[in-house]
Amino acid sequence: MVTVYSQPNCPPCAATRRKLDQLDIDYVEIDVSESPSALAYAVSLGHQQTPVVVAGDQNWSGFRPDLIAKLAA
C-alpha cells in the first residue's frame, strides 16, 4: 500500500500523483492541510515538505521519480 501525504497547490504533489498514475500504482492520498494527525505523522517521519510518500517500510518526501519507478518494478 502506498500513501501520499499531500497538500493543495503543491506542484511536487501533483507530479507525484501523475507519476504514480502513469505507472498504474495504487495509492491513497491524504491532505495534511485537513488532517492534523496526518501532518503530525509525516513530520514524525522526519519530513518537512510534501509530498511524503510511505510505501511499506520506505518513506521519502518531495517528487522522487526514481523511487516511484522502483515501486513499479
What value does the mean pLDDT of the chain take?
A: 96
Nine-digit cell at 9?
497547490
pTM: 0.94
Residue count (the chain) = 73
How far is 54 from 34, CA to CA, in rounded Å? 18
pLDDT of residue 45: 97
Phi, psi angles (nearest 5°) of residue 42: -60, -40
Q: Which numeric CATH code is attached to 2-72?
A: 3.40.30.10
Q: What is the pLDDT of residues 2-23, one digit of tens each?
A: 999 999 999 999 999 999 999 9
* 21: helix, strand or coil: helix
Delimit the domains of the chain by residue range: 2-72
How far is 4 from 64, CA to CA, in rounded Å? 12
Q: pLDDT confidence of 73, banded at 50, 70, 90?
A: confident
